[in-house]
DNA sequence: ATCCCGAGGG
DNA sequence: CCCTCTGGAT
């Protein structure tokens, strides 16, 4: 089976397994999703969902976070790790959204990645989930690991992986590719001990990346 | 390539 | 102890 056929087959089977993927992060608007996604770097979504209610209680909108006391913000986001970077980046991002984008979260990749702490992965998540705009595919730790193991890419650099994945799927599916691979990665094919014996993709998996 | 960095699992 | 968690900047 060639790469494109395998990619389509993976998508079809995962779509059957996850017919209506529920979002893992809790959010009610684009700004909340942006904040939650920044906090999710090297951190479980479960922990992010415990922090964001406290954060949005104290700083309910973009304008208030732009004026936040950084030390207080650090305390609130501390348990998500990288807390100094995250606090500094979030306040600066809020400041820039207010000053440059009229208080509205920008809706393009080019504008989103001008915000500190926001690169392609975070921008793709916000664009596809909050705005239904698909400029690319969000490549996080799960998408990276699964794409390599399933032979959809020979690269390890997230930007190259994204460029390898994009031509394999119709643009309308770019958003759900992330969801499917994240959930499947968690439940069946985690980094450390993949459940190959009970995996429904076993027959089409080259297994060329397991253990790496 | 290296640093940022806490929390939970094995 | 070591590894991993929906990364990004230098």
Residue whose CA lies closest to nucleotide B9 C1': A192
| Binding-site residues of A | 189, 196, 199, 205
Rounded to whole angstroms, how far apart are CA atoms A187 and A34?
25
CA distances from A138 to A189, A198, A211 (A): 18, 27, 23
Q: Are A130 and A30 in contact (CB under 8 A)?
A: yes
Give A212's pLDDT tier (boundaries 50, 70, 90).
very low
Round and report the angstrom distance from CA (A38) to C1' (C8). Answer: 9
User: Using CB atoms within 10 A of its CB, is residue A152 exposed (0-12), middle (13-18) or buried (19+)?
Assistant: buried
Q: Are A146 and A185 in contact (CB under 8 A)?
A: yes
pTM recorded for the entire structure = 0.94
Residue whose CA lies closest to nucleotide B4 C1': A82
- Where does CATH 1.10.340.30 sit in chain A? 30-130
- Where does CATH 1.10.1670.10 sit in chain A? 3-22+139-204
| A121 carries an active-site annotation | yes
Rounded to whole angstroms, how far apart are CA atoms A195 and A117?
34
The residue annotated as part of the active site, out of A86, A91, A121, A144, is A121
Neighbours of A199 (CB within 10 A): 13
Rounded to whole angstroms, how far apart are CA atoms A142 and A183?
9
Closest nucleotide to A125: CA versus each C1': C6
Question: Which CATH architecture group holds A30-130?
Answer: Orthogonal Bundle (1.10)
- A85-89: average pLDDT: 98
Q: What is the average pLDDT value for chain A, to the nearest integer?
A: 95
- A97-107: average pLDDT: 98
CA trace torsion A4, A143, A115, A129 (10° rounding):
80
Q: What is the pLDDT of residue A207?
A: 78
Taking every pair of Cα atoms in chain A, the longest distance, rounded to a whole number of angstroms, is: 56
Q: What is the pLDDT of residue A209?
A: 45
| A140 carries an active-site annotation | yes
Q: Does domain A3-22+139-204 have CATH number 1.10.1670.10?
A: yes
The label of the residue with tokens 């415990």 reads: A50
Q: Are A62 and A31 in contact (CB under 8 A)?
A: yes
DSSP code, position A42: T
Residue whose CA lies closest to nucleotide B8 C1': A44
pLDDT in tens, A117-135: 999 999 999 999 999 999 9
């Amino acid at each position: 089976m060639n790469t494109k056929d395998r990619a389509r087959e993976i998508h079809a089977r995962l779509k059957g397994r996850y017919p209506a993927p529920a979002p893992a992060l809790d959010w009610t608007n684009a700004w909340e999703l942006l904040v939650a996604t920044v906090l999710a770097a090297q951190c479980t979504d479960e922990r992010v969902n415990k922090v964001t209610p406290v954060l949005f209680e104290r700083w309910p909108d973009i304008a208030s976070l732009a004026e936040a006391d950084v030390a207080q913000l650090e305390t609130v986001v501390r348990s998500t790790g990288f807390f100094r970077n995250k606090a500094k980046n979030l306040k600066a991002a809020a400041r820039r959204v207010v000053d440059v984008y009229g208080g509205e979260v920008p809706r393009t990749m080019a504008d989103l990645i001008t915000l500190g702490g926001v690169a392609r992965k975070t921008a793709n998540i916000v664009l596809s989930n909050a705005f239904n705009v698909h400029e690319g595919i969000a490549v996080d730790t799960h998408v990276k690991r699964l794409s390599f193991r399933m032979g959809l890419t020979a690269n390890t650099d997230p930007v190259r992986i994204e460029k390898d994945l994009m031509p394999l799927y119709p643009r309308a599916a770019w958003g759900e590719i992330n969801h499917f691979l994240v959930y499947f990665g968690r439940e069946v094919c985690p980094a450390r001990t993949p459940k190959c014996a009970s995996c429904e993709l076993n027959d089409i998996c080259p297994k060329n990346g397991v253990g790496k």
